Structure 1
Amino acid sequence: MEVLSSPSTTKARASRANGRKSDKVGDEEVSMSLLGESERQAAAEGLEPEPEHHDEEKRLKAPMSSKDKAAMALLITLYLIQGIPIGLAFGSIPFLLKSKLSYSQLGVFSLATYPYSLKLFWSPIVDSVFSPTIGRRKSWIVPMQFIIGSLMLWMSSHVQSLIDVPEPDVNQLTTIFTSLVFLAATQDIAVDGWALTLLSKENLSYASTAQTIGLNTGYFLSFTVFLAFNSADFANKYFRSVPSEIPLLSLGAYLQFWGFACYAVTLGLLIFKKEDPVAADDPDLNLKKVYEIMWNICKLKHVQSICIIHLVAKIGFQANDAVTSLKLVEKGLSKEDLALAVLIDFPAQIIGGWYAASWSRGSRPLRPWLWAFWVRLGFAAGAMALVYLFPSIKPVPSSYFWGIVAFTVLGSFSSTVQFVGVSAFHTQISDPLIGGTYMTVGDIAG
């Protein structure tokens, strides 16, 4: 039988409880009074909780663990595999075709790059459909890389003949490279999602560094390095004593090498890397549910705000990124000098990616993005003066050339800092369960 306490009984109990509490406090005060001044101060300091930010600072200053280093190496390798076809489709192939195709035909070929921009539409499929035996992310990475390798091996025997003809079949080339970019974009979704669980929480900002290093290296190899070694003039100038019309590296040989490299990386990933099993308490997210979550993410006011910010923020330096190099070549800068500036710029991007990740650790990952924004805007304004002051004398003075190099390197460095900073922010707010979709939304927004 439940007994209800009367108000007087309740007050009495409260009074006794307060009395016991007062006695306890009094005993503590008496104990403290028996200590010396320095002892009381030390005891009082020991009762104060350690600030939370102190623990965070210690975690951020701790060196990267061997597990995180291995995860970084794996992510860089996977992003490198992705960068190879991207560099071909976005850079080398249009360059090789531009003398044989009209602008409208080159516009048709540019459709091959679209899957990378539209990958948000099938990212929920990558997050929700997988084999628990193989792993949530390996279920997509392994087959995508195997198909990429197979397609590259097939292309190594056929693509050169399609390009060398007087009138290349632009529709066939577009279909081939659209398929290749689609496979690379799908692999990117899975790798982005896996990065959220491969790295520890305090080192998540280095996921964007791995992407910067791997993707830029792959792009650099497939564009700048490949075009250099595919040029007979380059080989005759730097490597041959007897001139020849045959390049050091053909497109077929390059594709064949990376086709087998894809096989090797995929086989090693399948055998040696075990993915963490799906937790038993993870919610069962079907395809429809993930699409609903994606739609709800896109409707969030904060997500819409950051999309608008990124859209507006790029206006200030978009012309500099797209037009400055073209205007310099138009005014008389040789393509070899411009290529040298790009070659010097590549290490700066790698170094910038690493430092930006360390700056983006902690609770304010967007702070480096804000700093780099103003720096990048300043270099965009300076680039206008650089084009305006282009010297009329030939050859271009070395002082002016090194000015171009400085603007290229520092502008690219600030761009890399922005990319890594905003990507680090995306890793902090993304749900690893549907990390591919979250990170893809962030990539599209940024």
Structure 2
Amino acid sequence: MPPRPKSAGPMAVSSSLNSVFISPRTPKTPRNAAERYDEDDVELELLADHEREQAHRDLSEDQEDEAAKPETVPKKISAKDKRNMVLLCVLYLIQGVPLGLALGSVPFLLKEHLSYSQLATFALSSYPYSLKLLWSPIVDSVYFRRIGRRKSWIIPMQLIVGSLMLYISLNVQKLMKDPANHVGELTAIFTLLVSFSATQDIAVDGWALTLLSQDCLSYASTCQTIGLNTGFFASFTVFLAFNSEAFAHKWGLPVLTISAYLRFWAVICYLVTIWLLFFKKEDKEVESEEMDMSIGNVYKTIWTICKLRHVQLLIVIHLFAKIGFVAHEATSLKLVEKGLKREDLAVAVLIDFPFQILGGWFSAKWSRGDKPLRPWLYAFWPRFLFGVVSVFTVYFFPKPPISTGFFIFLIGHTILSSFTSTVQFVGISAFHTRVSDPLIGGTYMTLLNTFTNMGGTWPKWFILNGVDWFSIANCHLPKTSSQVLIKATECISHAGKAHCKAVKGDCVYERDGYYIVTTACMIFGMVFLVAAIYPAARKLQGLPTSAWRLKSM
């Protein structure tokens, strides 16, 4: 079989955590059978029969010993690689900051002023991060040679991200003071912010494959995990804690406003971009003559992958596998609605962060071997169990202030629940790495990870709207010893809540749609797991690796 042509790099880059694909090395083989005969067999013909048998055994033992030896001896990390690792962490950090705002802290700040239907509209701003496969071939193929293949995109994207954060900081008082009348503007701004951050992510992922030496390439995913998670948690948990007046008063610190926070990161974004432009030179990549890197060819490759029947089956599984869990994302919003302080929730998630790192390490070891989907499958039922616990936690949530014991329970539940999520993430990532064709590993991995992300993104709008659709709440106006029910005034929409508050009434839920939506999602998730995921996983995991290669079509 003729050797497969080498590629200068993937045609598109992966964008999920721990998803940088490294092509496996293969041992060198003799050029032809005649060469093996000339080097070994001619000498053996000069020996007697028993001597030839002994020589054959010696040669076999030598070959086994040689095969058992590692191909390369680990080298010490060079100073250049260390500097480039720091750079990658910083670039991923810049990307994680706007994601932490759009997916984390801003929805919490808006929850006090918006209905779930309005929050569903704002949730659309997170969709571009799951859809970046659509324009990743453009980012990978179009660039200015003078500036550099990756810097051609990273520099303008970071300038735009910094400018958007500066714009939000200057207008945040108007937008956040009356967010109900600015939902469309808030959604549009953060959609653009996430879109440009996602584009920067594509370029940084591609640069990571050439920025580090071959011996240190495996550290690329580590840099992504450290940088992206640090930026996300800085904008989510850390910001929410320092933004709380109660937290600042308790520790004698000034309140960190969202305006000041955004201005700080806008300046950091500008400084890093200027340094990249004038002080960091991008090495020229060797272009492969055998690999067509044109935009059209990359899109054709993606379509070719999608025509594989087992890839189509995996895509369907990805699109529906997370429905049973997506409703739990509204749990944290319900806890805040029930009276949980934002700073307490931030502390709980912050404590959970190091446990996520440890969980990822253990689950990575568990995912090795011929059945990487095993931990992904095993984690479904514990994750459903913790979902049921979340529902009961919301239902039996005590009146504030909560006790220390209950807060410890929340922390423990957060840690265990996120551990099952981490196990599933690492397990499915290991499977994607195993089946992706090394020739087009970037495109393959990006495609599979895109549908994995979409499975947790597309149901959000329907679920958050469903909470309002199935809820019934009316305004009760106290009057002496009785209550007068204002039938005409509902307490679901923002306008209804505002009107009830204006007449000094209380919104009373007769039916909370949260419980209906979460129950329906979990029932669907369990049925889909037994009826579709289990048989599909056994089939997909049993396929030989060659079945996933494009050459087998």
* TM bracket, shorter-chain basis: 0.7 to 0.9
Moved more, 199-208 or 401-410: 199-208
Q: Which amino acid aligns with 2:418?
A: S
Q: SS of the counterpart of 1:88?
A: helix
Deviation string, structure 1 residues 172-213 (Cα, Å, up to 9, x no partner): 222222211110111122223333444566765544443332
Moved more, 399-408 or 143-152: 399-408
Higher helix share: 1
Match of 1:223 among 217, 236, 253: 236
Deviation at 1:423, TM superposition (A): 3.8
Moved more, 98-107 or 286-295: 98-107
- Is the contact between residue 81 and residue 262 of structure 1 (CA under 8 Å) also seen in structure 2? yes
Q: Which amino acid aligns with 2:307?
A: K
Moved more, 218-227 or 46-55: 46-55
Deviation at 1:236, TM superposition (A): 1.4
Deviation string, structure 1 residues 374-414 (Cα, Å, up to 9, x no partner): 24532431452575486879876655543432332133234
Residue number in structure 1 paired with 2:462? none
Alignment partners' CA distance in 1, 2:47 and 2:139: 61
- Distance change in 2, residues 1:401/1:150 (3 Å): closer
Residue number in structure 2 paired with 1:338? 345
- Aligned-pair identity in percent equals 53
Residue number in structure 1 paired with 2:518? none
Alignment partners' CA distance in 1, 2:171 and 2:163: 13
Alignment partners' CA distance in 2, 1:131 and 1:431: 29
Alignment partners' CA distance in 1, 2:41 and 2:84: 56
Deviation at 1:75, TM superposition (A): 2.7
Deviation at 1:254, TM superposition (A): 1.0
Aligned residues: 410
- Distance change in 2, residues 1:84/1:55 (3 Å): same
Deviation string, structure 1 residues 256-303 (Cα, Å, up to 9, x no partner): 111111122223333224234242536343222222122212222342
Deviation string, structure 1 residues 313-363 (Cα, Å, up to 9, x no partner): 4355445x4255456667776655433321211122234445656776x7x
- Distance change in 2, residues 1:414/1:54 (3 Å): farther
- Is the contact between residue 108 and residue 333 of structure 2 (CA under 8 Å) also seen in structure 1? no
Match of 1:55 among 63, 70, 78: 70
Match of 2:89 among 47, 54, 76: 76
Residue number in structure 2 paired with 1:4? none
- Distance change in 2, residues 1:119/1:328 (3 Å): same
Residue number in structure 2 paired with 1:298? 306
Deviation string, structure 1 residues 59-98 (Cα, Å, up to 9, x no partner): 7xx4773465544433322221111111112222232233
- For residues 239-254 of structure 1, the aligned pairs below 5 Å read 239=252, 248-254=255-261
Q: SS of the counterpart of 2:47?
A: helix
Alignment partners' CA distance in 1, 2:299 and 2:204: 19
Residue 263 (1) aligns with residue 267 (2):
no
Match of 2:199 among 177, 186, 190: 186
Residue number in structure 2 paired with 1:125? 138
- Distance change in 2, residues 1:323/1:251 (3 Å): closer
Residue 409 (1) aligns with residue 421 (2):
no
- Distance change in 2, residues 1:442/1:74 (3 Å): farther
Match of 1:237 among 235, 250, 265: 250
Residue number in structure 1 paired with 2:175? 162
Residue number in structure 1 paired with 2:101? 88
Residue number in structure 2 paired with 1:12? none
Q: Which amino acid aligns with 1:158?
A: N
Moved more, 306-315 or 141-150: 306-315
- Distance change in 2, residues 1:313/1:101 (3 Å): closer
Segments of 5+ residues of structure 1 without an aligned counterpart are 1-17, 241-246
Alignment partners' CA distance in 2, 1:410 and 1:180: 32
Segments of 5+ residues of structure 2 without an aligned counterpart are 1-36, 453-553
Deviation at 1:109, TM superposition (A): 2.5
- Is the contact between residue 241 and residue 343 of structure 2 (CA under 8 Å) also seen in structure 1? no
Deviation string, structure 1 residues 28-58 (Cα, Å, up to 9, x no partner): 337949x9x9xx79945654344646536x7
- Is the contact between residue 76 and residue 214 of structure 1 (CA under 8 Å) also seen in structure 2? yes
